[in-house]
Structure 1
Amino acid sequence: MADSHDWVELWRRVAEADAQGSRRLVGDVCGGLDLVTDSGGPDDPDEIIALAIAGAKSAEATAAGLGLERALYTPQQAAVVASALYAQIERGRISAGEPGRVSACHGRAPRHRAAGVQRL
């Protein structure tokens, strides 16, 4: 997949087009997330929990939407969704394997790290 900077640029262009439209779904849906992430956060457990729940809800809704026969209409729409889903999977895999992270279940850092994973 493309470099993560390419994804961010793709998402920025989609957000800009969305802001010019009448629905503004990207801005509305991402607005709450931006409250936490734009200030350099998340930096406390409540923000992390809120983001995790939002991510789970988003994943569930995205899967349901993609299950529809005509979920996406253009290759460009598919590229945006594919890059966003890939970024979520990759970031989750990296976070789960980062050394020094404290495991909530065991109170110690995980001993493994996914091989060949680069930071975004």
Structure 2
Amino acid sequence: MSGLSSKLKEMTINIQKETGYVGFVLCLKWGEVFSHDVVHLQQDIVRCVVELYHTLPFEYAFIGHEIEVEIRPDEFEKCLQKHHAFPVGLIGKGDYIDIYYGDVAIDGLSLQKRGKECLKIEREQ
């Protein structure tokens, strides 16, 4: 997260225990999100989450504003495909990550093109 931490002055990680799974929430200050180019900041956050997957594989991750960890891992992909409710959703699939982009960026205001990207993960042997 070194590239991201150089842009943002304050971040915290909260751990939320839910029934059957644990969620990690990276909290950013709203004012800091708006003090940067939202598109580039979002790309930096996606890169950091992908880097994190190398050492801490996860079932899913999402990026957005005012979003709660309340969807069970086995329901997340269906939710993404049906509702497009998250600016960015990432689903870990072992050697690759599916990255879904919703209609709006992380600020909840800036429009972005909806789509899906499949990213191969190179694991160190």
Which has the larger share of strand? 2
TM above 0.5: no
Which has the larger share of helix? 1
Give the alignment's TM-score, normalised by structure 2. Answer: 0.28
Larger Rg: 1
Give the alignment's TM-score, normalised by structure 1. Answer: 0.29
